[in-house]
């Protein structure tokens, strides 16, 4: 692989690093090697916070073995799902990053420097078509992981906003919860978009979405702007997609108890318990999914980053091998779905 510095020449520019002076060629090739050899499909963090190099190696081996089994189970050969061999030179990739951020204060030199951050490098790989999906977040806080993807890839033009969706697997049923990670206080329009995007994701699992828009009020029982915001979101969503099974605003027990729905609200579009719960704000969503996981015994899978222009998914900080494998499978299905949609248009 030929490596060039940000000005288009040979990568001889020297940068100070914790390991001493290193040339741009060395740093860029090291990042590229991490992405291409270690993380063909999914960009996993190069510095997991583990108890020494041996533990890191053991985790990587476990992830690779589990991923191989997962890819086989999905009838998706690893060679087809791994990112295509790196074609774009770092200079070209820096130009891509610059084009996305040049009117937001980013200089050419800064764009090149950003590529030494694995999340920026991986995001640009996906944007350039050199990777099918990006998965990251084990060793860093959520905002540090998602910010590069939002800046380089951004939301899908039709979605306009990105949201986080968790799948909670109980013994006898599955529930999806959103938004759990991104939007602190969404508007009615944004809530409608969050619910619409969640419904699309749920359908990819072969599940018919039954969406409850949650609040502290049941169908106008409390007159308050927060409750009215949720009711407005329901109206917007129904107008956008009349085929969706959705209702609200409603309390959580109403959404989950068929007896309450039948006896108290027979007019509701929901005739069975909801399997998609849309929360009125981030506090409610984030708290609820964690309580369901820790107290309710649900296996959590996520967060799915919904509404991105290209497949990007974020791991929880400190995710274990099974979490990584589950999210890799989600990233694979997301990439496959998008490839299939592009082929059919």
Please report how many Cα atoms fall inside a 13 Å half-sphere around the Cα of residue 83, on the Cβ side: 33
| Averaged pLDDT for residues 176-184 | 95
Q: pLDDT tens across 15-44, in order?
A: 344 444 544 333 333 333 333 333 334 344
Cβ count within 10 A of residue 109: 14
Q: Is the pLDDT of residue 119 over 70?
A: yes
Query: What is the distance between the alpha carbons of residues 97 and 70, in angstroms, rounded to a whole number?
Result: 32
CATH code for the domain defined by 163-304: 3.40.50.10750
E strands, the chain, in order: 14-17, 20-23, 134-136, 163-169, 174-178, 210-214, 245-250, 276-278, 299-306, 312-314
Q: Is the pLDDT of residue 138 over 50?
A: yes
In order of 164, 177, 201, 288, the CA distances from 247 in angstroms are 20, 15, 18, 19
Q: Quote the pLDDT of residue 210.
A: 97
Range picked from 142-146, 209-213, 308-312 for highest mean pLDDT = 209-213
Q: Which two structure tokens, joined as six digits, stand for 75? A: 């009838």
Q: Quote the pLDDT of residue 159.
A: 85
| Averaged pLDDT for residues 236-263 | 96
Q: Is the pLDDT of residue 246 over 50?
A: yes
Q: Higher pLDDT residue, 127 or 106?
A: 127
Assess if CATH 3.30.450 describes domain 14-151: no
Q: Which of 148-162, 273-287, 291-305 has the lowest mean pLDDT?
A: 148-162
Domain residue ranges of the chain, discontinuous segments joined by + = 14-151, 163-304
Q: Which two structure tokens, joined as six digits, stand for 251? A: 């309390």
Q: pLDDT tens across 307-321, in order?
A: 999 988 888 887 777
What DSSP string runs through 60-128?
Answer: HHHHHHHHHHHHHHTT--HHHHSPPP--S-HHHHHHHHHHHHGGGT--HHHHHHHTTSHHHHHHHHHHH
Q: Higher pLDDT residue, 78 or 177?
A: 177
Q: Is the pLDDT of residue 79 over 50?
A: no
* pLDDT level of residue 276 (50, 70, 90 thresholds): very high
Query: Is there a common fold for 14-151 and 163-304?
Result: yes
Q: Quote the pLDDT of residue 30.
A: 37
Query: What 3-state DSSP class applies to 274?
Result: coil
pLDDT above 90 as % of the chain: 39
Q: Is the dihedral of CA 263, 265, 266, 272 positive or negative?
A: negative
Q: Quote the pLDDT of residue 110.
A: 59
Predicted TM-score of the model (pTM):
0.72
The candidate with the shortest Cα–Cα distance to 226, out of 242, 241, 248, 244, is 248
Burial class (CB in 10 A: 0-12, 13-18, 19+), 6: buried
Peptide bond into 303 cis (omega under 30): yes
């Amino acid at each position: 692989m030929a490596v060039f510095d940000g000005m288009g020449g040979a990568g001889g520019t020297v940068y100070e690093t914790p390991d001493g002076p290193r040339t741009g060629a060395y740093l860029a090739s090291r990042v590229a090697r991490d992405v291409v050899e270690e993380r063909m499909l999914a960009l996993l963090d190069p510095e997991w916070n583990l108890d020494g190099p041996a533990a890191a190696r053991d985790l990587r081996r476990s992830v690779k073995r589990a991923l191989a089994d997962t890819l086989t189970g999905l009838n998706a050969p690893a060679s087809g799902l791994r990112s295509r061999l790196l074609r774009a030179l770092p200079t070209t990739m820096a130009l891509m990053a610059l084009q996305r951020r040049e009117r937001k204060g980013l200089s050419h030199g800064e764009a090149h420097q950003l590529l030494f951050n694995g999340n920026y490098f991986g995001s640009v790989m996906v944007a350039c078509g050199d990777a099918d999906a990006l998965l990251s977040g084990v060793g860093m806080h959520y905002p540090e992981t998602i910010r590069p993807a939002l800046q380089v890839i951004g939301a899908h033009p039709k979605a306009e906003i990105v949201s986080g969706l968790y799948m909670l697997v109980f013994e006898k049923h599955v529930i999806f919860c959103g938004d759990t990670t991104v939007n602190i206080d969404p508007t009615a329009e944004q809530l409608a978009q969050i619910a619409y995007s969640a419904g699309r994701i749920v359908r990819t699992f072969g599940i018919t979405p039954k969406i409850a828009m949650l609040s502290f009020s049941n169908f106008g029982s409390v007159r308050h702007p927060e409750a009215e915001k949720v009711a407005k979101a329901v109206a917007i969503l129904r107008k956008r997609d009349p085929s969706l099974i959705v209702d609200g605003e409603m309390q959580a027990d109403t959404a989950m108890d068929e007896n309450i729905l039948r006896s108290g609200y027979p007019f509701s579009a929901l005739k069975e318990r909801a399997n998609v719960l849309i929360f009125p704000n981030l506090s409610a969503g984030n708290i609820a999914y964690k309580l369901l996981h820790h107290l309710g015994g649900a296996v959590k899978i996520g967060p799915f980053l919904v509404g991105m222009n290209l497949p990007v998914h974020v791991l929880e900080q400190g995710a274990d091998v099974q979490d990584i494998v589950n999210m890799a499978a989600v990233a694979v299905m997301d990439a496959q779905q998008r490839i299939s949609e592009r082929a059919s248009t």
